[in-house]
Structure formats: structure tokens, C-alpha cells
Amino acid sequence: MVLVGLIITGQVFGDEAKWFDVKGTQTYARIKTGIDAVPAISTHEHLRPLHMMTNRIETPQGEGVGLYTVLLNSYLQTGLHRITPWPPGRCFDAWWLEAQHDFADAQASSVYRYLLPAFRDIYGVNFETITFEQARNLHHRIFRNYQDDAWLKTTITVRANIELLVNDPSWSPLQFDTQSPSYKFVARVFNVTKLMQASHPSRAHFGGTSDDIYVWARERGIKVETIDDYLELIDRCFEEAVDAGVVGMKSAHAWCRSIRYDRTTKEAAARAFGKPPQDVASEQIKAFEDYIFWHLCRMSVKYDLPFQIHTGHAHIDGSHPMNLVNVIKANPDTKFILFHGGFPWVSEVGAIAVCFENVWIDSCWLPILSYSMAKRAFREWLEIVPSDRIMWGGDEFDAEGIYGGAAVTRQCVAEVLAEMVLEQALREEDAHRIGRQIMRENALKMFPNLSDKLWRGVALPKK
């Protein structure tokens, strides 16, 4: 009854009376159109060269990328939704017979729903009502699209309207000139996670990456016998990284352990260095990693590379963003970027950012994990931190994922801004400007080297 009343009132009085359905308002439509037109800058993706793309499959047509790949590369499995394995060497029909039933319990989840715009906009398919025939067709179209990278480039730069993305080649962090695709729309960060882990050569592979820092050192004729040698080696890595044009640095250490880094001494760190992990106490390994993390905060200042740090959802008992406050406080010249909005601790991330001038918030991945949490987060952050402190990214692995991540983020930001305008908590002209800041301008401000990589030469729309 109340709902009917509101709808009738809405029809009579226009947008302001029916703000509860913000996407139906003209205010939303104008803001969304403006945000869609922004040539976006994603601050975080994991785009691999085509031949290295994860979850490629064997098919009767040869090896390549299919619907299975796109689903596996998405965050469905992170959201605990199982995808039927691709039967080796088998055809699509055999797989889909079973896999079509994989989505029943995912219908309401953001990790599923962010893929829908990609299937809808790129392929004209409603995945929620997909037929067997449509699914087979979709699979074959995906397979054809990935035969070379022309389609991928167009999808990201034209359809998703992304001018630049900051890539994290986490699978091969020390190959600065290769392993990250050299597309004109790709910049990259230096993933420093394994620098914290490699207290001994046996730990140099820890974390699932292929590079070994000790092999890297040997190739360059660098001896690594003491912790001082190791610190010099880190410096050498940074020199090469900066020469290769990296724009920032990134830690994904939250996937390995707690992100509480105590201040410790070089002597304490040296106790674990060079020793097989089974010969040292776990506290000594922690001391080594803590020391290197603090050292990396100093490297961030020395090489003028903002420090992106994974917070939230990972090792959930140690990934709370508040764990970083001691380091943030003691390193005021390091620019800390707290990733994923600290999911689920989005309010805490906002509180940290308002307390420390050296903290920025990156919402990457957040709207994909929980759309409504992202909405709440954008609103809260805009209320408490300056609007030039919030960035976005997809944290995705292929064109469909990057498209879906961008689509839900644009929608989420537009919804939040339109609601604020309709509540008279923000003027519409400022909403348009804030949309441009989040989707693009804040990243350019954060990573000064990115401006050199802009390639479109198109002025931003004024509104």
C-alpha cells in the first residue's frame, strides 16, 4: 500500500518524490551518462598476455579461451560458487550439460551479477535466461574473440571506455619489460609481495609466482650473502622497475599472512635471513617480513612510487586495515593506497583515510564482492574524505571481467551521486565532477607518471 502511494506520488511530482528507485530518475540518467562518457582509468587489473591467460582450455577446435575460461577467471569461485571442471579435450556440450546448473545459488550474489552486463552488452545475451543454444553460441564467439588481441583491445578501450589500466603482473613481478602486455592502454606496478617473503631461496617461490629473486640476482652477477646484500638487491630491483616505467608498487601480502607489521630491527630480521625456514622460529620469519615491509615503505618514498596494499578479504583474521595504522603513522611521506575499500571494513578504511593525509582509498574489487556494500562505502567516504582521495579498479583477468567490473562501478558511483543530489546533499554539477574524479582524475593525480601514457588526446566532457 505504501509502495503504491509512493509510485503515484512519484508520477505526479517527478524525480524527487520517487528517489527510492534512483535508477528510474532523470537525475540518475544524466549523471550516469556523464560517468559512462569518462575515459576511465582503472588502477588495478591483472591482464596477462593472451598466450598466458589463465584457465585456457583444450577444445576440438584447439587450445584457447572459452565461456569456461571467462567464468573461471571471474570471482564466482571466490564467492564459493563451484564451476564444473572443463573435461579435458571435450566439447562444449558435454561440459554445459552439467555446468548450466552451477548458477542456481549464485543468482543474488554480486560475484555473479557483475558478469551479466558483460554478456548482455558485449554479446547481447541474457545470461539469467540463457538457452543451451545461446550458451554454445556464446562459447564459440568467446573462443573466436580470443584468437588474437584485436577484439580484447577494442572491448577494453572502446566498449568499457578505459583509456588506461594499471596492471599488476603478480604472476611474474620481476620481469619488468615483459610478461605484462605492452598495449598502449596498460601501465604497470611493481608487485613487491615476494620481496618480503624471500628470507631464504626456498621461500622465493612462496605465493605462487614464477620469478625467483635469487635467480634474478644471479643473472645480474649480484651476490646475496647478508641482509645488507639483500637490501641492496631490493634497491637494484627498484632501479630496474623505475627504469622500466612502473607507476607504483603493490603488496598482496594479505593473502599470505596478517598485515600487522611491527617495527623491528635489522638485527632481528637478520636472524631469519639465509636460513631454511624449518631452522628458524616463525616469529623470526615474521620479524624479517615486518622489517622488509617497513623498508619498502621507505623505498616507496625514495622512488616516488605510491604503495597499493591489499586490505580486507584474504586471510580474514589478519587483513583488517586497522593493522596498518602503526606503519601509516610512522611513515608520513609514504603514500598508502588501501585496496578493496578494506572489504568488509569499509567504514574503518574511511576513518583511517580521514585521520592520515598519506592515505588514499581504492575501491577496486569492492562492487564485485558486494554491490550494496560498495554503495554504502562510496557514500560514507564522500561524506568524510575529500573527493580526490577515492579511486576504482576491477581486479580482473580478461576483457569480459574488466568490462563487467567497470560497468558495475560506473553504475554504483552514479547511483550514489544521484541519491545525494536528490536528497539535496550535493549539487548536480559537483556530482558530475566527482564522478570524473573517481573514474579518472584521481588516478592521474595519484600516479603522476600516468599522464605521459594518456593516448586519446580527447578533452573530458565538461558535464
- Return residues touching Zn ion (CB under 5 A): 395
Query: Which residue number places its CB atom closest to Zn ion?
Result: 395
Tell me whether residue 287 or residue 305 sits nearer to Zn ion (CB atom): 305
Tell me whether residue 395 or residue 441 sits nearer to Zn ion (CB atom): 395
Among the listed residues 365, 324, 372, the one whose alpha carbon sits nearest the alpha carbon of residue 348: 324
Tell me whether residue 68 or residue 75 sits nearer to Zn ion (CB atom): 75
At closest approach, how far in Å is the CB of 329 from Zn ion? Answer: 26
Check: CB of residue 41 under 8 Å from CB of residue 165.
Answer: yes
Tell me whether residue 15 or residue 395 sits nearer to Zn ion (CB atom): 395
Strands 62-64 and 162-167: unpaired
Tell me whether residue 19 or residue 403 sits nearer to Zn ion (CB atom): 403
Check: CB of residue 69 under 8 Å from CB of residue 141.
Answer: no
Check: CB of residue 35 under 8 Å from CB of residue 414.
Answer: yes
Cβ partners under 8 Å of residue 147, min gap 6: 64
Check: CB of residue 140 under 8 Å from CB of residue 92.
Answer: yes
457: helix, strand or coil: coil
Q: How far apart are CA 226 and CA 229, in angstroms?
A: 5
Tell me whether residue 381 or residue 397 sits nearer to Zn ion (CB atom): 397
Check: CB of residue 361 under 8 Å from CB of residue 321.
Answer: no
At closest approach, how far in Å is the CB of 384 from Zn ion? Answer: 25
At closest approach, how far in Å is the CB of 395 from Zn ion? Answer: 4
Q: How far apart are CA 25 and CA 23, in angstroms?
A: 6
At closest approach, how far in Å is the CB of 308 from Zn ion? Answer: 9
How far is residue 253 from each of residues 125, 144, 196, 321, measured CA to CA in Å? 38, 37, 8, 13
According to DSSP, residue 24 is labeled G
Check: CB of residue 417 under 8 Å from CB of residue 431.
Answer: yes
Among the listed residues 47, 100, 107, the one whose alpha carbon sits nearest the alpha carbon of residue 79: 107
How far is residue 403 from each of residues 48, 396, 421, measured CA to CA in Å? 15, 9, 27
Tell me whether residue 75 or residue 103 sits nearer to Zn ion (CB atom): 75
At closest approach, how far in Å is the CB of 343 from Zn ion? Answer: 12
Bridge partners, residue 167, by sequence: 45, 188
Tell me whether residue 70 or residue 165 sits nearer to Zn ion (CB atom): 165
According to DSSP, residue 387 is labeled G
At closest approach, how far in Å is the CB of 76 from Zn ion? Answer: 16
At closest approach, how far in Å is the CB of 48 from Zn ion? Answer: 13
At closest approach, how far in Å is the CB of 158 from Zn ion? Answer: 24
At closest approach, how far in Å is the CB of 462 from Zn ion? Answer: 33
Tell me whether residue 321 or residue 435 sits nearer to Zn ion (CB atom): 321
